[in-house]
């Protein structure tokens, strides 16, 4: 039996192979071109246009331009502010809008992880315009992971005047206590601080409860971590508790929580609204239970 393949067949197979290879190469190049174009489109969409990597597009609202600059400084220095203090202060000095003086001071102290955040100047309820500016700063920072990036135009779209007071106050005190960065291993002594809810311009039981529960949740979380890690060292837990600030002159886990009519608040960008009391009381109630067993 003759197993030799005719030359015409070999030629045909060769032409088919060349055609398929050329088609595949074109497809790959096309895909690369499409991917590159999509990548450029995504980069153009997600790059912060006001940053060095994007177009320096300014808002028609000068306050929003400066507020966006503050939000970027907060993001850049929130973990390194203590080691880049002079650099941060120099950057803050370039922000001139007179309505942002409180936010500038807040960003400075929050990035320094400063105990001054628990001073009267920051614990007292800020003016509504300052609450709104802090809220916008926080929302701008949430938007860093969004397809739209953070641009002055994004701030222009936020209808901050429509945000209710509970949401504004919650956003402010959350950011304030986040600035203490208690989750880090370092231990700071706050025992000389008393958070007197009756002297902080808090006019309703709900306002007082918002501050109480946010403070109690943060310190309770720190306390619970100590108990979990060293469950046999009760004295260590007591020693930690002794470094916490007082609320109305009492230890945090002994102070009476103000009555709270629950409400829902935005926990993060794209997340469902949460029950305030449910979210902020869980760690607190757990800590109180541990405390009773000490």
Query: Do residue 200 and residue 111 come from a single domain?
Result: no
Query: Do residue 193 and residue 280 come from a single domain?
Result: yes
Read off the pLDDT of each residue in 248-266 and give the average, rounded to a whole number.
95
Task: Identify the pLDDT of residue 192.
Answer: 95
Query: Do residue 114 and residue 201 come from a single domain?
Result: no
Task: Identify the pLDDT of residue 50.
Answer: 36
Query: Do residue 208 and residue 269 come from a single domain?
Result: yes
DSSP letter string, 212-277: HHHHHHHHHHHHHHHHHHTTT-HHHHHHHHTTSPEETTEETTTSPPPP----EEE-STTPPEEEHH
pLDDT tier at 149, thresholds 50, 70, 90 = low
Paired tokens of 23 = 């088609």
- Identify whether the C-beta of residue 219 lies closer than 8 Å to the C-beta of residue 252: yes
Whether residue 262 is predicted with pLDDT greater than 80 in this model: the reply is yes
pLDDT tier at 293, thresholds 50, 70, 90 = confident
Query: Do residue 186 and residue 111 come from a single domain?
Result: no
Whether residue 11 is predicted with pLDDT greater than 80 in this model: the reply is no
Helix spans in 99-204 (H): 101-111, 120-123, 128-142, 152-157, 165-178
Partners of residue 266 on adjacent β-strands: 273
Query: Do residue 88 and residue 127 come from a single domain?
Result: yes
Domain endpoint, select from 128, 162, 196 = 162
Residue 52 lies in a domain: no
Task: Identify the pLDDT of residue 252.
Answer: 95
Structural domain count of the chain = 2
72-98: pLDDT as tens digits: 999 888 877 777 889 999 999 999 999
Q: In the structure, how many helices (H) and strands (E) does the chain have? A: 11, 5
Query: Do residue 143 and residue 192 come from a single domain?
Result: no
Nearest partner of 111 among 62, 73, 67, judged by Cα: 73
For the chain, the farthest-separated pair of C-alpha atoms sits apart, in whole angstroms, at: 106
- Identify whether the C-beta of residue 71 lies closer than 8 Å to the C-beta of residue 149: no
Whether residue 256 is predicted with pLDDT greater than 50 in this model: the reply is yes
Task: Identify the pLDDT of residue 179.
Answer: 86
pLDDT tier at 49, thresholds 50, 70, 90 = very low
Nearest partner of 78 among 120, 114, 132, judged by Cα: 114
Query: Do residue 187 and residue 294 come from a single domain?
Result: yes
Residue 237 lies in a domain: yes
Read off the pLDDT of each residue in 133-148 and give the average, rounded to a whole number.
75
Residue 120 lies in a domain: yes
Task: Pick the more confident residue, 140 or 18.
Answer: 140
- pTM reported for the whole predicted model: 0.77
Nearest partner of 242 among 251, 254, 255, judged by Cα: 251
Query: Do residue 126 and residue 216 come from a single domain?
Result: no
Tokens 């939000």 appear where? 71
Stretch among 126-130, 134-138, 177-181 having the lowest mean pLDDT: 177-181
How high is the mean pLDDT of the chain? 79
Task: Identify the pLDDT of residue 294.
Answer: 82
Query: Do residue 153 and residue 186 come from a single domain?
Result: no
Task: Identify the pLDDT of residue 27.
Answer: 38
Measured distance CA(163)–CA(155) in Å, rounded: 14
Domain endpoint, select from 129, 162, 195 = 162
Give the dihedral sign, CA 81/83/86/87.
Answer: negative
Query: Do residue 134 and residue 199 come from a single domain?
Result: no
Task: Identify the pLDDT of residue 129.
Answer: 97
Residue 49 lies in a domain: no
Residue 172 lies in a domain: no
Whether residue 254 is predicted with pLDDT greater than 50 in this model: the reply is yes
- Angle, vertex CA 90, rays to CA 115 and CA 141, nearest 5: 65
Whether residue 147 is predicted with pLDDT greater than 60 in this model: the reply is no
Measured distance CA(74)–CA(140) in Å, rounded: 11
Residue 88 lies in a domain: yes
Residue 130 lies in a domain: yes
- Please state, for a pLDDT cut of 90, what percent of the chain lies above it: 50
Query: Do residue 227 and residue 291 come from a single domain?
Result: yes
Neighbours of 248 (CB within 10 A): 16
Task: Identify the pLDDT of residue 114.
Answer: 83
Domain endpoint, select from 130, 162, 194 = 162
pLDDT tier at 23, thresholds 50, 70, 90 = very low
Residue 21 lies in a domain: no
Measured distance CA(70)–CA(170) in Å, rounded: 20
- Determine the structural domain holding residue 68 and report its residue range: 61-162
CA–CA distance from 115 to each of 96, 119, 245, 248 (Å)?
Answer: 26, 7, 11, 18
């Amino acid at each position: 039996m003759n197993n030799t393949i005719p030359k015409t067949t070999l030629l045909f197979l060769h032409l088919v192979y060349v055609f398929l290879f050329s088609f595949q190469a074109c497809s790959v190049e096309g895909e690369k071109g499409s991917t590159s174009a999509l990548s450029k489109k995504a980069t153009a969409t997600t790059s912060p246009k006001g940053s060095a990597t994007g177009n320096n597009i300014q808002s028609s609202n000068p306050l929003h331009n400066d507020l966006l600059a503050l939000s970027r400084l907060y993001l850049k220095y929130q973990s390194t502010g203590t080691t880049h203090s002079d650099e941060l202060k120099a950057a803050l000095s370039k922000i001139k809008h007179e309505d942002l003086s409180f936010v500038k001071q807040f960003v400075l102290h929050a990035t320094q992880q400063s105990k001054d955040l628990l001073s009267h100047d920051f614990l007292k309820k800020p003016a509504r315009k300052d609450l709104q500016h802090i809220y916008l700063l926080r929302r701008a920072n949430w938007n860093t992971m969004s397809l739209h990036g953070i641009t002055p135009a994004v701030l222009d779209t936020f209808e901050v005047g429509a945000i209710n007071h509970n949401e504004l106050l919650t956003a402010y005190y959350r950011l304030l206590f986040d600035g203490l960065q208690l989750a880090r291993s370092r231990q700071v002594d706050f025992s000389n601080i008393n958070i007197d809810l009756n002297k902080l311009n808090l006019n309703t039981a709900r306002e007082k409860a918002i501050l109480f529960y946010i403070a109690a949740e943060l310190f309770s979380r720190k306390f619970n971590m100590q108990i979990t890690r060293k469950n046999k060292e009760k004295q260590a837990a007591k020693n930690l508790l002794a470094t916490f600030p007082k609320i109305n002159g009492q230890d945090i886990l002994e102070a009476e929580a103000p009555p709270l009519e629950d409400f829902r608040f935005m926990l993060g960008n794209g997340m469902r609204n949460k029950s305030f009391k449910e979210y902020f009381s869980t760690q607190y109630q757990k800590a109180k239970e541990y405390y009773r067993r000490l």
